[in-house]
């Protein structure tokens, strides 16, 4: 493709993206097609000769888009956001072999990779001290709200499955890890001759947005010479606002800290920022050794563009606005006696029917295609899509309450 063709295709691509954003609200948020529908629509093999861009665009519109769940839709309230912003377009395709954003910081693809990388580093550090044969004695601590990425990382790192302590949390501590519970588990493992070596705390857990007590856990980890990782994949972005920074008080005790710029920081997937306590001995850091792959994408460029094109003030208002919208949704919940904030529709004395009731409501809402919510044991509406405004919050509330005959069958009174 020559420069003029690139210009022409680039313009058409930008038109295509702009048109998509313009009409995004006209699509069902959650894809309404059956799994596997695309196999019948697409050829079995890739074309031998080049095809024209218009044909490809047509295929995307007619065949691919119906199978897409629109994560950028302002009516998208499921899981956590996976943000895009227009600034990414400029930084999208750059490639670089190595890249870094300062001593101690390295950009990974995902929070899962970040957790794996630091767990491997911590494992090797302790094994150098206690000997390789002690792998079976190494113990990892986290809460039952911790993302499953930790369990996966333990599996890959060869940590014995019975040595991952998934410690119980409950509503009394807002689903945060209890220092007492962690201390007891460590003491009991030490008495059994095991080697506690890694604590993973979370700031903003996936299911409940719980915040583990960072400062206390950091001190505990230090006292027992353990690696302390903080997974702030989702909520870390909020720390750009000074008023939310207290959630990471004590972060200086951490050996590593990760946050996903691709979740709530307007940076396109993938961009997971990881800070690691760098050894002072190594004046030169080779970032290819701080990750799983050798080659690196130029992820810092898109983050840099987001920072420069938005500016800190706008990024702060962006986060504050989402928190305001979430509070608006909270008010709608608390003003309706049929709902209980933080625990959805569970009748306290009837857990089985409570689950049925909540799942019925969730199915009714999602099958409309109007908005998309995801389920969790304890809460469900995550505000974070860049285009979400007050009116979408109102609709999100009205969808379950008024739009569905199917809800009549669910006795929510």
Q: Is residue 290 involved in binding ligand PLP (CB under 6 A)?
A: no
Mutual angle of helices 390-402 and 351-366, in 10-degree steps: 120
Of 201 and 396, nearer to ligand PLP (C-beta) is 201
Of 110 and 406, nearer to ligand PLP (C-beta) is 110
Buried b (16+ CB within 10 A) or exposed e, 217-230: bbebbeeeebbbbb
From candidates 77, 88, 198, 234, binder to ligand PLP by CB under 6 A: 234
Any bridge partners for residue 99, and if so which?
none
The distance of closest approach from Cβ of residue 243 to ligand PLP in the complex, given in angstroms and rounded to an integer, is: 21
The distance of closest approach from Cβ of residue 143 to ligand PLP in the complex, given in angstroms and rounded to an integer, is: 11
DSSP letter for each residue of 251-308: GGG-SEEEEEHHHHSS--S--EEEEE---TT-SS--GGGGSSSSS-B-HHHHHHHHHH
Interface of this chain with ligand PLP, residues 315 to 354, rule: CB under 6 A = none
Of 79 and 346, nearer to ligand PLP (C-beta) is 79
Of 73 and 108, nearer to ligand PLP (C-beta) is 108
What number of chain residues touch ligand PLP (CB under 6 A)? 15
Interface of this chain with ligand PLP, residues 171 to 230, rule: CB under 6 A = 202, 204-206
Of 80 and 224, nearer to ligand PLP (C-beta) is 80
| Residue 199 parent element (H or E) | strand 195-202
From candidates 87, 178, 208, 260, binder to ligand PLP by CB under 6 A: 260
User: What is d(CA 271, CA 35) in angstroms, rounded to the nearest whole number?
Assistant: 29
The distance of closest approach from Cβ of residue 247 to ligand PLP in the complex, given in angstroms and rounded to an integer, is: 13
Contact 80, 373 (CB under 8 A): no
Q: Is residue 272 involved in binding ligand PLP (CB under 6 A)?
A: yes
DSSP letter for each residue of 235-256: GGGGGGSGGGGGGGTTGGG-SE
Of 112 and 366, nearer to ligand PLP (C-beta) is 112
* Contact region with ligand PLP (CB under 6 A), list: 1-9, 57-65, 106-114, 404-412: 106-114
Residue 8 backbone dihedrals phi, psi, to 5 degrees:
-65, -45
Interface of this chain with ligand PLP, residues 130 to 169, rule: CB under 6 A = 147, 149
Q: Is residue 267 involved in binding ligand PLP (CB under 6 A)?
A: no
The distance of closest approach from Cβ of residue 131 to ligand PLP in the complex, given in angstroms and rounded to an integer, is: 31
The distance of closest approach from Cβ of residue 205 to ligand PLP in the complex, given in angstroms and rounded to an integer, is: 6
Q: Is residue 111 involved in binding ligand PLP (CB under 6 A)?
A: yes
Of 196 and 258, nearer to ligand PLP (C-beta) is 258
Instruction: Give residue 133's Cα distance to chain centre.
Output: 35
From candidates 231, 303, 358, 361, binder to ligand PLP by CB under 6 A: 231
Buried b (16+ CB within 10 A) or exposed e, 258-282: bbbbbbbbbbbbbbbbbbbbeeeee
The distance of closest approach from Cβ of residue 376 to ligand PLP in the complex, given in angstroms and rounded to an integer, is: 11
Of 27 and 257, nearer to ligand PLP (C-beta) is 257
Would you state the structure tokens that stand for residue 172, as one six-digit string?
């009394």
Contact 271, 226 (CB under 8 A): no
Distances (CA, A) of 297 to 108, 241, 260, 286, 372: 9, 28, 16, 15, 32
Closest CA to 76 of 383, 397, 412: 383
Any idea which residue has 């959650």 for tokens?
A: 30
Interface of this chain with ligand PLP, residues 71 to 90, rule: CB under 6 A = 80
Q: Helix, strand, or coil here: 79?
A: coil
From candidates 87, 112, 163, 208, binder to ligand PLP by CB under 6 A: 112
The distance of closest approach from Cβ of residue 211 to ligand PLP in the complex, given in angstroms and rounded to an integer, is: 11
The distance of closest approach from Cβ of residue 269 to ligand PLP in the complex, given in angstroms and rounded to an integer, is: 8
Residues binding ligand PLP (CB under 6 A):
80, 110-112, 147, 149, 202, 204-206, 231, 233-234, 260, 272
């Amino acid at each position: 493709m020559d420069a003029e063709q690139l210009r022409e295709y680039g313009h058409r691509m930008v038109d295509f993206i702009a048109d998509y954003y313009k009409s995004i609200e006209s699509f069902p948020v959650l894809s309404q097609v059956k799994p596997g529908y695309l196999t019948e629509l697409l050829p079995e093999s890739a074309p031998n000769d080049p095809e024209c861009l218009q044909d490809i665009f047509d295929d995307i519109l007619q065949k691919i888009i119906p199978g897409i769940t629109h994560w950028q839709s302002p009516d998208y309230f499921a899981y956590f956001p996976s943000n895009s912003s227009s600034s990414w377009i400029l930084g999208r395709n750059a490639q670089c072999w190595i890249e870094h954003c300062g001593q101690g910081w390295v950009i990974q693809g995902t929070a899962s990779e970040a957790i794996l990388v630091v767990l491997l580093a911590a494992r090797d550090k302790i094994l150098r001290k206690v000997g390789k044969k002690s792998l079976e004695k190494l113990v990892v601590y986290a809460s039952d709200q911790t993302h499953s990425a930790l369990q996966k990382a333990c599996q890959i790192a060869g940590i014995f499955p019975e040595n991952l302590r998934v410690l119980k949390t409950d509503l009394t501590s807002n689903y945060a890890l209890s220092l007492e519970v962690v201390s007891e588990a460590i003491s009991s493992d030490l008495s059994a001759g095991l080697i506690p070596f890694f604590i993973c705390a979370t700031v903003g857990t996936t299911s409940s947005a719980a915040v583990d007590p960072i400062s206390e856990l950091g001190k505990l980890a230090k006292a027992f010479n353990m690696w302390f990782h903080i997974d702030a994949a989702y909520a870390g972005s909020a720390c750009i606002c000074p008023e939310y920074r207290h959630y990471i008080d004590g972060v200086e005790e951490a050996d590593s800290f990760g946050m996903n710029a691709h979740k709530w920081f307007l940076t396109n997937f993938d961009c997971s920022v990881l800070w690691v306590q760098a050894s002072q001995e190594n004046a030169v850091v080779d970032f290819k050794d701080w990750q799983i792959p050798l080659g690196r994408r130029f992820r810092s460029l898109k983050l840099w563009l987001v920072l420069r094109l938005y500016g800190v003030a706008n990024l702060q208002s962006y986060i504050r606005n989402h928190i305001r919208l979430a509070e608006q949704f909270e008010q709608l919940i608390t003003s309706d006696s049929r709902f209980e904030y933080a625990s959805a529709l569970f009748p306290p004395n009837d857990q089985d029917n409570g689950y049925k009731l909540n799942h019925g409501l969730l199915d009714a809402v999602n099958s409309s295609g109007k908005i998309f919510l995801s389920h969790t044991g304890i809460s469900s509406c995550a505000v974070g899509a860049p285009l979400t405004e007050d009116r979408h919050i109102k609709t999100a509330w009205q969808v379950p309450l008024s739009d569905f005959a199917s809800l009549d069958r669910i006795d929510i009174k």
